[in-house]
Amino acid sequence: MNSDPRHIRISDYNYPLPDERIAKFPLAQRDHSKLLVYRQGQVSHDVFYNLPEYLPKGALMVFNNTKVIQARMHFRKDTGALIEVFLLEPAQPSDYELMFQTSEKCAWYCLVGNLKKWKEGTLRREIEIKGQQVVVSATRGPIHGTSHRIDFEWTGGFSFAEIIDAMGELPIPPYLNRETQESDKTTYQTVYSKIKGSVAAPTAGLHFTPEVLAAVDAHGIEREELTLHVGAGTFKPVKSEEIQGHEMHTEYISVRRDTIRKLLAHDGCAIAVGTTSVRTLESLYYMGLKVMQNPEASEDDLHVNQWEPYDTDTQTSTVESLTALGAWMDAHGLEVLHSSTQIIIAPGYNYHIVKMLVTNFHQPQSTLLLLVSAFVKGDWHKIYDYALANDFRFLSYGDSSLLIP
């Protein structure tokens, strides 16, 4: 059983982060960023391209292959008011893959900027795709939590993927305090990004280059990919005094049957690239427990709730849980598991699958800092003090760390 973190005070996870330490742009060469190495309480640093030398031969390294979409769309009313529509998650169809293939209409749950200027009516915008004029319209629907359902329609028979590529803007993190630039379309994607759906990059992966990936292979480390679509909630600050007052956002995951096989071949152990890979991998353990209790569970039933890890008896071994999950996928004829997670990983959590973590430096008082603290058994201050004292660059475009507890 994990110990209950609900009464953790978020103010205990604060540190001074001067604005000049936030990297506004990435380095010209991704893999030349600094690498902090934390190993059993000892801290040193190196350059990222040397990362493979710190990894054990024969290990399994897991990457999140999600791709950031151009989720920020702008419409102008007849009055001249600019309305921003920020795509959060698909509403109709709700499947990401089907969504990007739709060719006439679809609906998303969205955040709306300048909402007070859009009381009613349909917004329209004309764009050009492949030399053809296309009219895109947006109609406001009912409120959905903190977002709105927005129904889109367009002419020309193009896919929705083509629509957002033509009129959308890449949503870089708000703390960069700058406009999106053309260069961000490349630098704010990992070199292995494939599956469209995120509104934020899994930034630990931004340091990898084809050369570093080749070096990982040459060191005898097996690579595997899964998908977690990063939601805007990743930037949601913890505003409650205790973390029990913070509601984690739901994120959608896809995990192949082969990934479960590879995890089992490595005794249920993995090196995670990024906190999104961590949340996906650790959620698999709890999904395995669910199918052990209910073999008839649906994919939706496997959703991992925020506090579930702290309300669940976790005496089942990781291998037993993953074996059960794999058998359940076989029984249901699933080559890919599509589900979702709301997991919060905070001090008191015992990791089941992730044994090493590659990650960037996170915002003060964030759930990601809680995740790191849980991983290094509360030793996060030592890591962040070292990074601040040694000119490390912070947040999405900043430097990297390898954490080995």
* Residue 323's pLDDT band (cuts 50, 70, 90): very high
- Compute the Cα dihedral for 87, 309, 350, 354 and give only its sign: negative
d(CA 176, CA 179): 8
Model pLDDT, residue 237? 81
Rounded mean pLDDT of 320-344?
A: 97
The tens digit of pLDDT for each residue in 109-154 reads 999 999 999 988 899 999 999 999 999 999 999 998 889 999 999 9
For the cut 70, the answer to whether the pLDDT of residue 179 exceeds it is yes
> The tokens of 311 are what?
């309300």
The predicted model gives 334-352 an average pLDDT of 97
Q: How confident is the model at residue 245 (pLDDT cuts 50, 70, 90)?
A: very high
- Phi-psi sector, 150: left (phi>0), alpha (psi -120 to 50), beta: beta
The gap between the terminal CA atoms of the chain, to the nearest Å, is 20
3-class DSSP string for the chain: CCCCCCCCEHHHHCCCCCHHHECCCCCCCHHHCEEEEEECCEEEEEEHHHHHHHCCCCCEEEEECEEECCCEEEEECCCCCEEEEEEEEEEECCCHHHHHHCCCEEEEEEEEECHHHCCCCEEEEEEEECCEEEEEEEEEEEEECCEEEEEEEECCCCCHHHHHHHHCECCCCHHHCCCCCCCHHHHCCCCCCCEEEECCCCHHHHHCCHHHHHHHHHCCCEEEEEEEECCHHHHCCCCCCEHHHCCCCCEEEEEEHHHHHHHHHCCCCEEEECHHHHHHHHHHHHHHHHHHHCCCCCCHHHCECCCHHHCCCCCCCHHHHHHHHHHHHHHCCCCEEEEEECCCCCCCCCCCCEEEEEEECCCCCCHHHHHHHHHCCCCHHHHHHHHHHCCCCECCCCCEEEEEC
- Whole-number pLDDT of residue 262: 98
Tell me what the mean pLDDT of segment 275-289 comes to.
Answer: 98
114, amino acid identity: N
**240-247: average pLDDT:** 94
- Confidence (pLDDT) at 308: 95
Residues 6+ apart with CB under 8 A from 145: 109
CA distance 239 to 294: 36
Give the mean pLDDT of the chain.
95
Q: What is the pLDDT of residues 153-166, one digit of tens each?
A: 999 999 999 999 99
Q: Which of 43-57, 147-161, 204-218, 225-239 has the lowest mean pLDDT?
A: 225-239
pLDDT at 310 over 80: yes
**Nearest of 251, 290, 215, 275 to residue 62 by alpha carbon:** 275
Provide the whole-model pTM: 0.94
User: What is the structure's pLDDT at 314?
Assistant: 84
- % residues pLDDT > 90 (the chain): 93
Phi and psi at residue 401, to the nearest 5°: -140, 150
Average pLDDT for 247-262: 95
Q: What is the mean pLDDT of residues 69-79?
A: 94
Cα–Cα dist 393/26, whole Å: 9
pLDDT above 90 for 305: yes
Looking at the DSSP bridge assignments, the partners of residue 124 are: 137
- For residues 118 and 140, is the Cβ–Cβ distance under 8 A? yes
Q: What's the confidence (pLDDT) of residue 387?
A: 98
- Residue range 80-108: average pLDDT? 94
What's the average model confidence in pLDDT over 195-217?
A: 97
Residue 1 has pLDDT above 70, yes or no: no
* pLDDT higher than 90, residue 313: no
